[in-house]
A and B are shown apart, each in its own frame.
Chain A
């Protein structure tokens, strides 16, 4: 299982990668939604961590594309946006875990 990390902040992206690696996960990193692309090299058993506030394409756009895949992988949203903005951005998606920055709950339990 590979963890795909779509996050524009260098520090946060690297920190997420380190955490995933420390539990033996492989990682692939993308600074924005465009770099992530259509998500064709994501396998159904992978996990995608998506930051909502990305430069250029919005994070919700990335999720929409993932959900259009034949067998969509699991998505976890990370966001520092105000709660109202998160709710608005996520209104069309059900059952997606959202983690707010700075992270309070344990991301690892979600990744396991």
Chain B
């Protein structure tokens, strides 16, 4: 319980404090009736003090909370359990015109000769929310921009790579044509073999289609969308894009267990992180002896992780400081925002992006940890514990 405090200010002084306070201040009694409603509150809520003094405080709340408020107060009086007093939190307020706005509310309590009173200090959060919304919009645009710049580079490689499945399709279809011709002359029915060839042709057609649609997904402007995802699939699809047209110049090593706990992420955004890290790694090991990109996935107690490392020169100590600052690219080809964006994405997912700079003959290694989806944690604790930690961290080569 809060320290008992008797009102010591004279009424005149109290009034001047209330009227000049930049924050909204309300005082209510145990019956939730408003006793004080200061100038700042009048501006925030659009009511004159005279309109609300003596009213239940719930006139200031969205309708769906009104009924509950009296219950909250009752419960607090019965149990002393604090949901808001002395803590402060973000809630919603309702203006006289009915509009709802976000506010930060801190509540204190005082015992007065007239009984227990509650004092609320209110700060309008709409401005801050608006800034946050704009920041998020700018970030989304930036995120899309890096996707587009990655794509530029992929464009010609893409055309080449699409030729492979298309070539296969045409060959299968030619073979199928022969088959059908043969059947027609023999006047028999379509054989399983012809069906098998048709199936193969269809698969190749799908391969071409899926590459195109994956690329399209990356460039399209879209709202972030989280879903339960398998990190292995997310990583492999991004790698396919990162390796487009490079399979001859870069060795790709992929390690990790076949199954991982589910993560709740926006797969396109996580793919972008993989893509950014992989592109950096590929660039870094360009001049290495046998340029190798190593990707691992694994899981630990409550996170699923992946790492991207290369056998380039690593990151110089003096570069480490500004590594995550935007527009400080050292390699002269990029915009220098890949890592900044990647870290923002990972943090938005309540994960971590860690860097081991390497050096002395070792390439850099970037590790991303993402929390396991909430409902997976219990189910997975057993399997994670059954697996020796070293084995979990250094999974077999697949």
B200 and A102 contacting across the interface, CB-CB below 8 Å: no
Asked whether B175 is an interface residue with its Cβ less than 8 Å from the other chain, the reply is yes
Question: Which listed residue (A9, A22, A103) contacts B179, Cβ 8 A?
Answer: A22
B168 within 8 A of A: yes
Q: Is A34 interfacial (CB-CB < 8 Å)?
A: no
Task: Give every chain B residue within 8 A of A16 (Cβ-Cβ).
Answer: 171
Q: Does A14 contact B (CB under 8 A)?
A: yes
> Which stretch from B65-73, B95-103, B132-140, B159-167 is at the chain A interface?
B159-167
| A60-B174 Cα distance, complex, nearest whole Å | 27
Q: What separation, in Å, do the CA atoms of A108 and B165 have in the docked complex?
A: 19
With A15-B172, A18-B175 known as contacts, the answer to whether A80 contacts B167 (CB < 8 A) is yes
Q: Say yes or no: A102-B174 contact (C-beta < 8 A), given A22-B179, A55-B247.
A: no
A18 pairs with B171, CB closer than 8 A: yes
B179 lies within 8 A of A11 (CB): no
Interchain CB contact under 8 A, A11 and B204: yes
Q: Across the interface, do B172 and A9 meet the contact criterion of CB distance under 8 Å?
A: no
Residue from B166, B178, B207 in contact with A108 in the complex, judged by beta carbons closer than 8 Å: B178
CB distance from A62 to the nearest CB of B (A): 15
A80 / chain B contacts, CB cutoff of 8 Å:
160, 163-164, 167
Cross-chain contact B164 with A11 (CB below 8 angstroms): yes
> Could you tell me if B175 and A19 are in contact, using CB atoms closer than 8 angstroms?
yes
In angstroms, how far is the closest chain A Cβ from the Cβ of B252? 11
Q: Name the residue on A nearest B193 (C-beta).
A: A22
Binary B-proximity of A8-26 (CB < 8 A = 1, otherwise 0): 1101101110110111000
Q: Is the beta-carbon distance between B248 and A15 smaller than 8 angstroms?
A: no
**Contacts of B145-190 to chain A: CB distance below 8 A:** 160, 163-172, 174-175, 178-179
| A53-B168 Cα distance, complex, nearest whole Å | 16
A102 to B171, CA, bound (A): 9
Could you say which of A18, A53, A103, A108 contacts B167, with CB atoms under 8 Å apart? Answer: A103
At the interface, yes or no: B197 with Cβ under 8 Å from chain A?
A: yes
**B174 engages A101 (CB within 8 Å):** no
Is A41 an interface residue when CB atoms closer than 8 A count as contact? no
Determine the residue in chain A with the shortest Cβ distance to B201: A15
Nearest Cβ on chain A to B251's Cβ, whole angstroms? 9
Q: Could you tell me the distance between the alpha carbons of A23 and B177 in the complex, rounded to whole angstroms? A: 11
Q: Interface code B7-18, partner A: CB below 8 Å = 1, 0 otherwise?
A: 000000000000
> How far does the alpha carbon of A15 sit from the alpha carbon of B171 in the complex, in Å?
6
Flag if A15 contacts B163 (CB, 8 Å). no
* B265-295 residues at the A interface, CB under 8 angstroms: none
Q: Is the CB of A101 within 8 A of B164?
A: yes
Residues of B within 8 A of A12 (CB): 164, 167-168, 171
- CB A41 to nearest CB in B, in angstroms, measures 24
Residues in A neighbouring B178, C-beta threshold 8 A: 19, 22-23, 108
Whether A18 and B172, one on each chain, are in contact in the complex, defined by CB atoms closer than 8 angstroms, is yes
Interface residues of A (CB under 8 A from B): 8-9, 11-12, 14-16, 18-19, 21-23, 53-55, 78, 80-81, 101-103, 106-108
21 pairs, CB–CB < 8 Å, chain A vs chain B: A9-B168, A12-B167, A12-B168, A14-B200, A15-B169, A15-B171, A15-B204, A18-B172, A18-B200, A21-B175, A22-B179, A23-B178, A53-B248, A80-B160, A80-B163, A80-B164, A101-B163, A103-B167, A103-B170, A103-B171, A108-B178
Nearest 7 pairs of A and B residues by beta carbon: A15-B171, A15-B168, A11-B168, A102-B166, A101-B167, A22-B175, A19-B175
* Beyond A12-B167, A80-B167, 10 extra complex contacts between A and B, CB < 8 Å: A12-B171, A14-B168, A15-B204, A18-B172, A18-B197, A19-B174, A19-B175, A19-B178, A22-B175, A53-B248
